[in-house]
Amino acid sequence: MIGFVYHLQDAGIPVSVQYVLEFYRALQRGLARNLDQLFVLARLVFVKRVEYYDVFEQAFASFFLGAEGTAPAVNWEELIAGKPFQEWLRDQLEQGLLTPEELREFDTEELLARFWETVLKQEGRHQGGNQWVGTRGRSPYGHSGHHAGGMRVYGQSLYGSAQKVIDDRRYINYSDQSSLSNENLRQVLTSMRSLRPLGPESELDIDETIAKTAKNGGEIELIFRRELRNRLKLIVMVDNGGYSMTPYIPLVKTIFTKLRDMFRDVTFYYFHNCIYGTVYRDPQRTQSVKWEKLVSENKSTRLILIGDANMAPAELMAAYGSIEMTHTIRKPGKEWLHELKTAFPVSIWLNPIRKDHWGRESTTIQQIGRIFRMEDLTLAGIKNAVSYMNIQGQTYDSQ
C-alpha cells in the first residue's frame, strides 16, 4: 500500500496524510471487497479534481494490473509489520521522540498518522524519495543532520540544524520587504481583501435599531447598514512597456483576477511609461479607450496604476513628450496624470522599483509621487496602499 501511495505521488497527484488515513479507515471497514471497489474507493479518496482522473487510472492500472504484477495487498496490518514502518518506529524511539509510554497510549491510527506525516514531508523535499520503496532496507532518514545532505525527521533542533534552517532562508519570500512573487501571493491577497467593503444598505443594524427605537419611546425605527460585500469598481492600469515591469505582469494579473469576486468589476488597461490621453484595453496597445468615458467614472471607483514611473524627464514634462514616435499629443504627460487624479481621487501608484532605490532613479519618480501617492510593489507597500485607499475612499463611497 505504501508503494501505491508513492505511485500516485510520482504520477503527480497531490496526496495528503488525511487521504491515506481515510483510505486505511475505509479498508478496515471492508469497503473494498474486490478490485473494482478498491478502484472506486481509492479514486474517491485520493482524486479530487477531474483533471487527475486519467493520471489516476493509469497509475492504478500500472500498479495493480501492470507488469509488476503486485497483488492488491489491501491488508493494512502488513504495513505495520513491514520494514519501513518498523524502522521508522525504531528511529523515533532511539531519538527519544516517542517514548515507550507514549507508544502504549497511542492507537495505531495515531502512529500511522505520524508515520505518514514524516514520509510525505520527506518526500516533498527529497527528490530520490521513491528509491526508498525499492530498496526497502536503507533508512532514508538523515538522523537529524548526521547524514550529509540528509533530511531531518522531526529532529529540527539537533546538531546545529537550526543554523541550516536559518541559512536556507525558506521564509524569505514571506517577509514584508520581499517583492511580489508566487510565494507571497496569498498574503498579498489577504491584505487586498481588506479593501473596504461597500454593499447596498440592506443589512439591519440591530444594535442601532434597538437604540433608536428605545430613544423613540418604543416606536420602531429601522436602521440599515451596508452589507459586508464589495460592490466597487476597480481599474488597474499597467505599464507594460518597460523591462522593469515584465516579470510582474502575470502576477499582477493573477492577483487582480482573483480579487474579481470582491469587486463588481475589475478592468485592466495598459499604457507605456506615461499616459497621454489614452490607455489601451489590450496588452499590444491597439484598442484605445475614450478618455472622456474613462474620467467620467464614478468617483468611488478605485484606480491602481502599476508602473516604474521611470522615464526621461521630457516624457513627463515636455509638450509632445511621448516616447512613441507616432503620438502627436501636445499636452504633457504630467497634466494628463493630474486629470486622472482628479477623476479618480481614490487612487494609488504601485512601483515595482523598491522604495529605497527611488532616489537613485529618474527624477520623474518623485514628480509622479507628488501627483499620486506612490508605494512599492512589496507586501508592506501593498498594505500601505490598501489602508491609504480605504481612508481616501470614505469620503467618496457615500456619494
Binding site for another protein (CB under 8 A): 16, 18, 22, 25-26, 29, 31, 36-37, 40-41, 44-45, 47-50, 53, 204, 206, 209-210, 213, 218-220, 222, 261
Least distance from C-beta 136 to another protein, angstroms?
30
Q: What phi and psi, each to the nearest 5 degrees, are found at residue 347?
A: -140, 160
Cα 212-214-220 angle, rounded to 5 deg: 65
Element (H, E) at 2: helix 2-10
Least distance from C-beta 46 to another protein, angstroms?
10
Report the residue number, 102 or 261, with the smaller CB distance to another protein: 261
Q: How many CB atoms lie within 10 A of CB 337?
A: 22
Least distance from C-beta 176 to another protein, angstroms?
25
CA dist 140 and 91 (Å) reads 11
Report the residue number, 61 or 222, with the smaller CB distance to another protein: 222
Element (H, E) at 96: none
Rounded to a whole number of angstroms, the distance between the first and last alpha carbons of the chain is 63
Residue 374's DSSP bridge partners are: 349
CA dist 394 and 227 (Å) reads 15
Q: How many CB atoms lie within 10 A of CB 320?
A: 12
| DSSP label at residue 16 | -
Structure-derived torsion over alpha carbons of residues 253, 255, 256, 260, reported in degrees to the nearest 10 = 130
Cα 167-169-174 angle, rounded to 5 deg: 165
Report the residue number, 51 or 68, with the smaller CB distance to another protein: 51
Report the residue number, 198 or 274, with the smaller CB distance to another protein: 198
Q: How many CB atoms lie within 10 A of CB 364?
A: 22
Task: From 63, 67, 79, 104, select the one nearest 27 (Cα to Cα).
Answer: 79
The SS3 assignment for 13 reads: coil
**Residues 15, 9 contacting (CB under 8 angstroms):** yes
CA dist 387 and 374 (Å) reads 13
CA dist 359 and 381 (Å) reads 17
CA dist 23 and 76 (Å) reads 10
Least distance from C-beta 288 to another protein, angstroms?
22
Least distance from C-beta 48 to another protein, angstroms?
4
Report the residue number, 25 or 330, with the smaller CB distance to another protein: 25
- Non-local (6+) Cβ contacts of 308 within 8 A are 239, 242, 244, 245, 351, 352, 353, 361, 365
| DSSP label at residue 345 | S
Least distance from C-beta 338 to another protein, angstroms?
38
